[in-house]
Amino acid sequence: MVAPLRGELHAHCYRMLGSAHDADDALQEALVRAWRGLDRFEGRGSLRSWLYTVATRTCLDIVEHRGRRALPIDLGPSSERAIVDDAPRTDVAWLGPYPSDGAVGMAPGARYEQRESIELAFVAAMQHLPGNQRAALLLFEVLGFSVAEIAAIMDTSTASVNSALQRARSTVADRVPAPSQLRALRKLDDADLRRIVTEFSSALERGDADALVALLTADVTWSMPPLPSWYRGLEATMDFALRWPLGSCGSWRHAPVSANGQLSVASYLRRPGDEGPFGAWSINVLTVRGDRIADITSFLGAEHFARFGLPPAVGP
């Protein structure tokens, strides 16, 4: 009964919670609740609507107790120079990447397309909404439920749903740049998309600062959760890049990956002096403007790789 809906329910939980790990927990808990309450369903209405009701209420419970996920930009201003002693913040619940093929379950006519609904800017904007606004917007705009259906799912009135939608749309409009990445990528042909990914990977592997600069917009940003520091503009970004990924980190190998409906690259690192394999290091989600990269979000941590079907290490 659940198998055909599991993927879209998991994606819904990710949009709500900003973490694939939290989505795992939420979906598992929701299915346990659904199983225990199966006698109350009794085939009335749509199984899909009922499961979304249980999943949404489960996510709202988690939001109430765990708070929101963040990116470095949410914590403070950008750094003008590379931070030498930057250390991971373990006291912050960080936003995480999500495999693009996990975003399923889009209703026809919904405002946000499948890939748009898991783009980093959109998911990050969701984290700035109260739980009820987050749920109402996702259920209406992404999944195509009616206001009356949402009121039933959230056990509230249609007036409350309409109010939540109005406030949520205003917040999201202020935080999500236009056009979306899906629309920006559609303006480029396949050769351009491959070129951006290939040249970004190659510049890091060769330590080629000029090649990297040629790929970036003047106002580019680069962040690396769970490190709190982030950089804006070519000067600050390249100061960081020259000191670390192009400088003292070691040697790189890369593989293209599909994350958050955006151009993405998996990075493997071998430290200076090592002769063994390259170890999983980061999932880099790229935001493009025109044919250049306007934002790099590098999700550090080998724990991200298995979810994308990637090995923990690659050979020399």
Residue range 218-224: mean pLDDT, rounded: 98
Q: What is the CATH number of the domain that holds 243?
A: 3.10.450.50
Is 206 a domain residue?
A: yes
Residue range 1-7: mean pLDDT, rounded: 89
**Residue among 129, 147, 155, 146 at smallest CA distance from 69:** 129
231 and 298 assigned to the same domain: yes
Widest pairwise Cα distance in the chain: 65
Is 102 a domain residue?
A: no
What is the pLDDT, as a whole number, of residue 109?
A: 45
**Mean pLDDT, all residues of the chain:** 93
What is the pLDDT, as a whole number, of residue 67?
A: 80
3 and 141 assigned to the same domain: yes
Q: What's the rounded Cα separation, in Å, for the pair 56 and 135? A: 7
pLDDT higher than 60, residue 154? yes
**Residue among 244, 289, 251, 247 at smallest CA distance from 267:** 251
Is 238 a domain residue?
A: yes
What is the pLDDT, as a whole number, of residue 114?
A: 57
Q: How distant, in Å, are the alpha carbons of 25, 99, 110, 247, 287 from that of 80? A: 38, 32, 41, 18, 21
The band of 43, judged by pLDDT with boundaries at 50, 70 and 90, is low
Residue range 251-275: mean pLDDT, rounded: 96
59-70: pLDDT as tens digits: 999 999 888 899
Q: For residue 29, what are the domain limits?
A: 1-67+120-175
Element (H, E) at 122: helix 120-126
User: Residue 136: CB partners within 8 Å, gap ≥ 6?
Assistant: 150, 154, 161, 164, 165, 168
Is 73 a domain residue?
A: no
205 and 260 assigned to the same domain: yes
pLDDT higher than 80, residue 21? yes
Q: What's the rounded Cα separation, in Å, for the pair 293 and 288? A: 4
User: Residue 102: CB partners within 8 Å, gap ≥ 6?
Assistant: 7, 10, 11, 14, 20, 118
Q: How distant, in Å, are the alpha carbons of 64, 97, 164 from that of 137? A: 17, 21, 8
pLDDT higher than 70, residue 294? yes
Q: Which of 175, 210, 238 is the endpoint of a domain?
A: 175
Q: What's the rounded Cα separation, in Å, for the pair 21 and 143? A: 22
69-96: pLDDT as tens digits: 999 999 999 999 999 889 999 999 999 9
159 and 293 assigned to the same domain: no
DSSP 3-state of 129: coil
DSSP 3-state of 238: helix
195 and 304 assigned to the same domain: yes
Work out whether strand 262-270 and strand 292-300 pair parallel, antiparallel, or are unpaired.
Answer: unpaired
158 and 305 assigned to the same domain: no
- 269-284 b/e with 16+ CB inside 10 Å = b? bbeeeeeeebbbbbbb
Q: What is the CATH number of the domain that holds 155?
A: 1.20.140.160
46 and 166 assigned to the same domain: yes
Count of Cβ atoms closer than 10 Å to residue 181 Cβ: 25
164 and 199 assigned to the same domain: no
pLDDT higher than 80, residue 49? yes
